[in-house]
Structure 1
């Protein structure tokens, strides 16, 4: 049994221009195997997954409008979680080509800035960036957890028939655990940028076609240690619904 606070306060400093908010809460996180497979498809089959407990989740921030077309939000967060899960190479597998899970207490301090803009009648965009400081109790590092992330999106709509969107994401450096020469070693994974393009043609409410291009610049990076990303992937198709 765990008791956690649950409170939220919002107040207006300058109507529409500046609002402030503070919240504090906690939770029991019911993690399960299917969830970790969606996070990391290289997890060892049958891995046991434990629940985690967020004992403290403290948020504070401001938000508002710069103009009728531009909004902003800046938030700070401190989170204390017991039994947070981290992915490491499974040394029990002969080829060391699967991941298993290690658990530790995680203290995470982050700052996030977000801005959205309606550039014109047909064009919208958004930008978000997060700086993160992770501290673990027993592990050498908070494995595969980035110190910085950013994402941006620009979308263009033409007569409610054509929709084109360009998404860019940046993932900062991360650390992974490697095993060779009968010992564990810490590996630094380099930051990377991923750019994706999607174009949709909406013929009517039931029928549409799409073209998606992933990793548009063919960047060579590893989201998970020892598993390089696809350099370029193109998907096309149509969707029909009754």
Structure 2
């Protein structure tokens, strides 16, 4: 044992001496130079490691978690609470009125007046319908201090058929008219009852027309309308007119040009002219083309176009070509409150015997019929809304017409015809410049009350004629409609027409043939109506016309009926 301990002690001692000798040797050989680090250590995210939330355990025994179970001991509980059901708020609203497709109206009044209307419409299918309209207005007359009968008759008839298809809609119509008026305007005291008893002054018009139109969807050709009308009277006069108008959107490059094409033929004849028995014929055929390019930018809308017309006088053989401006613009200065607009346009207007007779039923069957060359109509204006219920329009214009038709009292010739006693009107043509200013005001006080006011002032300058015959210097009107309640309704219309000039000319060997200018007084006409809806179908109404009681003359020597009262009923129904 001691020997082993001695050996172990010797080994440890030798090891210790050897270590000390090694340290001394290393001390003598270490280089003391400075060491440069070329690339310092830069730690990165990849060098990091995540510490596990649940580290591994090296225990010999790993205890597991016990599963905990939760139990809810529920049992029913009796309750007496009952929630109230939701209920929508009740909104008071009126029952919409029943709309009908047909109605008939009949009224009787003073001067033995009869006024009737019948409108019918019936749907044959979802896309087809037929309809018709008949109107009749007549009076037995009775104007004070009139030497001749002043009764009249005006009846119009129209039937139509319409079809609405997917890509187009079209309709055709057939109509006719029968009118009778008397040349009762004898100048007094120049003529007396003895002269009146020898005259038969009834003048009857009759006519018929057929026409139609078609509209296309998603097509360059947008619409086409045609009309043929025959018109004549019991004095051998006859007139034929054919009109066609087509509208198309013609694409040019990336733009569309709105273009309108016009075709208008007019031909007619009178048995004689006013002074001789020579037949009077007339005929005109014109073709028009009016392309318009519309430019829209922000608040500005500008239409740039031109109207081209070719006229052929089929009786005289004359041919003319016309070019008119067709420019219009509008600019919103203040949104819907203030809009400025203006333009300059022109056109060739076809006059006809039918149009003249509807404007003045006392014309003689001896008229010269020619077109009017409207060289230009320059206009400017301001329009907009003052409030949600009030809108306005203020405008002015300067119109230059060449060969404008003017009604003038025919010369007194006392010939064999009953309309040659100064009791009929002819037509003269002259170059007339017209300057006008005016305005309109429309007010919707509420859903049941509307009011409209319009007025215009005119200044005329005729070239050859002494005056712009029978053209008023002032025209004003007021319209009012009021739905008083569910049953009662009322309305009113007021008209004011200023002074007009006409001519009185006695062409006789006995009396001096000197024309005299006659000034026709201005007049004011008040018309009122009131009605009551008995139910959805029946209504009764009453009307009062010319309530101012002014026996004014719309035309020279033609006083109108005084105060007129009429009452009637209307019935609405469906088939």
- Seen in structure 2, the aligned counterparts of structure 1 residues 220 and 15 have a Cα distance that, compared at 3 Å, is same
Aligned residue-pair number = 242
Structure-2 separation of matches of 1:161 and 1:133: 46
**Counterpart of 1:112?**
438
Aligned-pair distance for 1:66?
Answer: 1.3
TM-score (norm 1): 0.92
User: Please, which of 543, 547, 551 is the counterpart of residue 216 of structure 1?
Assistant: 547
**Counterpart of 1:186?**
517
**Cα deviation code 1:12-40 (max 9, x no counterpart):** 00112100001111111111111111111
- Between 226-235 and 86-95, the greater mean CA deviation after superposition: 86-95
1:111-130 matches, within 5 Å, as 111-130=437-456
**Counterpart of 1:147?**
473
The answer as to whether partners of 2:480 and 2:491 remain within 8 angstroms in 1 is: yes
Structure-2 separation of matches of 1:80 and 1:202: 49
**Cα deviation code 1:97-120 (max 9, x no counterpart):** 111111101101100111111223
**Counterpart of 2:561?**
230
Alignment partner of 1:197 is 2:517: no
Structure-2 separation of matches of 1:49 and 1:71: 40
Task: Provide the secondary structure at the position in 1 that maps to 2:377.
Answer: strand
Q: What is the CA RMSD across the aligned residues, in angstroms?
A: 1.9
Structure-2 separation of matches of 1:155 and 1:165: 4
**Counterpart of 1:16?**
336
Structure-1 separation of matches of 2:386 and 2:380: 20
**Counterpart of 2:392?**
72
Structure-2 separation of matches of 1:23 and 1:80: 14
The answer as to whether partners of 2:545 and 2:563 remain within 8 angstroms in 1 is: yes
**Cα deviation code 1:176-211 (max 9, x no counterpart):** 111244211001111111111123445677654432
- Seen in structure 2, the aligned counterparts of structure 1 residues 165 and 55 have a Cα distance that, compared at 3 Å, is same
**Unmatched 5+ stretches in structure 2:** 1-320, 414-418, 507-511
Task: Provide the secondary structure at the position in 1 that maps to 2:322.
Answer: coil
The answer as to whether partners of 2:366 and 2:426 remain within 8 angstroms in 1 is: no
Structure-1 separation of matches of 2:458 and 2:340: 21
The answer as to whether partners of 2:430 and 2:465 remain within 8 angstroms in 1 is: yes
Alignment partner of 1:5 is 2:331: no
**Cα deviation code 1:86-135 (max 9, x no counterpart):** 11122244421111111101101100111111223322111111110111
**Counterpart of 2:501?**
175
TM-score (norm 2): 0.40
Segments ≥4 residues shifted beyond 6 Å = none
**Counterpart of 1:132?**
458
Name whichever structure is richer in helix by fraction. Answer: 2
- Between 55-64 and 230-239, the greater mean CA deviation after superposition: 230-239
Task: Provide the secondary structure at the position in 1 that maps to 2:515.
Answer: strand
Name whichever structure is richer in strand by fraction. Answer: 1
1:33-48 matches, within 5 Å, as 33-48=353-368
User: Please, which of 85, 101, 107 is the counterpart of residue 427 of structure 2?
Assistant: 101
- Between 165-174 and 83-92, the greater mean CA deviation after superposition: 83-92
Q: Which has the higher contact order (CA 8 A, sep 6+)?
A: 1
